[in-house]
Amino acid sequence: MSKVKKQAKVLFVSSEVYPFAKSGGLADVSFGLPKAMSDLFDISIIMPLYGSIDKKRFKIRQVEQFDIYLGKKKYAVELFTTSHEGIKCYFIESNILSNKKNLYGTPQNGYKDNDLRFGLFCKAVVAFVKQKNSYDLLHLNDWQSALCATFVKEDEAIRAKTLFTIHNLSYQGIFEKSTLEKLGISENYFHMDALEFHGNINFMKAGIAHADAITTVSPNYANEIIAPEFGCGLEGFLQKHQNKFTGILNGIDLSHFSPSTDKALVQNYDAKSYDKKAENKKAFLKERGLENSALPLFVFIGRFTWQKGVDLLIDALGQLDDLKLNIAVLGEGEASYHKQMKAVTAKSKNINIEFGYDESLSHKMYASADFLLMPSLFEPCGLNQLISMSYGTLPIVSSVGGLKDSVYPIDEYDSALTHGFGLTFEANEPNALIKTIQSALELYEDKKRLKEINIHNMGCDFSWNESGKIYAALYSSLVER
Ligand code: ADP
């Protein structure tokens, strides 16, 4: 990379960043990608300072205070900062943004004032950028930071370009029309080529309409969302902006997800010492009260939502009586799923469910499992399958979105290839998940083949190396425009 590119100053804007606040993959990407870009660009991160973030632990200190106007109302905003693993991180604190228990709301409903909360966040970010007057590029992520694209576009004094990444099109940030006035956004944006969406305001549309470039998190999802089945009503709008839209597969940060260094594990291992992985399974089964350690262990880790195929999972759990396997589930989400899960677990000694969010337990599960279940009905990229392959755990995935781009069917296994393999199925075929679990049980008997494929997967590169190069080229092309 040339010196010019190295000097380019980038601000990565996200509503969640690991390790400060995480509800899912967005947080992993929002630290992993900037970190991967930091050799080539002068990149910092900015996010909301939620009340749940431990300022002391992360040595987060206040830098300055300023006021932001949303419509006619004045909000006091404070800017905080810290450095994490060499990356400069900024935080926006303001009462409405920071005084809630969760990031966005409950699994059932988003907070009622999310329009104000994230409208304020975007306004404060853009005010910060304008004041610094040194940023070349703002990389925006999902609807919570999408309005920055509109605010940058309408202020001629800001020269920064904007890149908008769609991590999940099904969350768009849709609010009543009155939000326009509340945020002081001009009525001129209330039309179908800008923020208007069936009489409402759609924050995601701001990013799509006004950013200089758009990416999503896998090439296959980029194709899927320009068609009605996965387009969530925005397929036509995305088609209109297709000339600035590409799909780039997410990676994982190997300093956070690596079985050879992971502090959460009972026993570290790598591809060469693969057999040591079994120590983790032994300890995990004991800890979770799963009795027969000779049986294969299947795990599911994720949000309990329709998207993640939780209905298929619950259906399969209910039919497993005769099968010889252990299943451990970690997650939280919709109350009805919690209830159904409790009901199926009560019937079986071989199922263990932990409700909640637990980073350390999730790492233990990736390391302990024989198989990872990921029966998603749609999946923009998915990180679990990348993590599981890095930990030598075979993924069982539906063939959608980024899962299709990252997990190749095991029938096509060829050790000379550099991509990962797993068991794949079509989610809409009846009993597809249960049939694939049966295939996994057969494969489990062929220990030599299973081990060979898992070791092959561990040798594949699921880091940001490759996708980082594509992002770097895109960043450079945007700042040089
Ligand atoms: P999402 O759609 O939720 O963003 P991804 O597959 O992109 O799904 O990323 C999920 C990330 O969140 C992974 O790092 C996964 O391990 C983690 N995760 C999901 N649910 C939990 C949980 N209940 N406890 C701990 N980690 C979780």
- How far, in Å, is the centroid of ligand 1 from the Cα of 25? 6
Report the distance separating Cα 262 and Cα 430, nearest Å.
38
* Ligand 1 mutation pick, 26, 303, 364, 377, max ligand atoms within 8 A of CB: 303
C-alpha to C-alpha distances, 422 to 169, 231, 259, 341, 394, nearest whole angstrom: 26, 27, 19, 26, 6
In order of 25, 96, 281, 327, 349, the CA distances from 292 in angstroms are 32, 50, 11, 11, 10
**Domain 271-458 CATH class label:** alpha beta
Taking only the tens of pLDDT, the chain with its 481 residues reads 444 445 799 999 999 999 999 999 999 999 999 999 999 999 999 999 999 999 999 999 999 999 999 998 999 999 999 999 999 999 999 999 999 989 999 888 899 999 999 999 999 999 999 999 999 999 999 999 999 999 999 999 999 999 999 999 999 999 999 999 999 999 999 999 999 999 999 999 999 999 999 999 999 999 999 999 999 999 999 999 999 999 999 999 999 999 999 999 999 999 999 999 999 999 999 999 997 888 999 999 999 999 999 999 999 988 887 678 999 999 999 999 999 999 988 888 899 999 999 999 999 999 999 999 999 999 999 999 999 999 999 999 999 999 999 999 999 999 999 999 999 999 888 899 999 999 999 999 999 999 999 999 999 999 999 999 999 999 999 999 8
| Centre of ligand 1 from the C-alpha of residue 285, in Å | 21
Question: Which residue's CA is the nearest one to ligand 1's atom 12?
Answer: 24
Residue 178, token pair as written in the block: 């009155």
User: What lines the ligand 1 site, CB under 6 Å?
Assistant: 24-26, 28, 301-303, 330-332, 357-359, 362, 381-384
User: Which atom belonging to ligand 1 lies closest to the Cα atom of 250?
Assistant: 7
C-alpha–C-alpha distance, residues 132 and 332, integer Å: 40
Closest CA to 71 of 201, 182, 188, 189: 182
Are the C-beta atoms of 43 and 86 separated by less than 8 Å? no
Q: Report the b/e string of 404-424 with b at 16+ CB within 10 A.
A: bbbbbebeeeeeeeebbbbbb
The structure tokens 């004991």 sit at 286
The CA distance from 272 to 458, in Å, is 10
Specify the domain boundaries for CATH 3.40.50.2000 within the chain: 9-251+465-479, 271-458
Tell me, in angstroms, the distance from the centre of ligand 1 to residue 424's CA.
20
Give the Å distance between the CA of 476 and the centre of ligand 1. 30
CATH architecture of 9-251+465-479: 3-Layer(aba) Sandwich (3.40)
Cβ-contact 225, 238 below 8 angstroms? yes
Which residue is listed with tokens 């990872």?
A: 372
Distance, CA of 89 to CA of 101 (rounded, Å): 22
* Predicted model pTM: 0.96
CA distance 104 to 172: 13
| Ligand 1: nearest atom to the Cα of 366 | 16
Q: Tell me the C-alpha distance between 407 and 130, whole Å.
A: 43
Which residue, by CA, sits nearest to atom 22 of ligand 1?
Answer: 357
253 Cα to the center of ligand 1, angstroms: 14
Nearest alpha carbon, ligand 1 atom 8 = 25
- Asked whether the beta carbons of 177 and 199 are under 8 A apart, the reply is yes
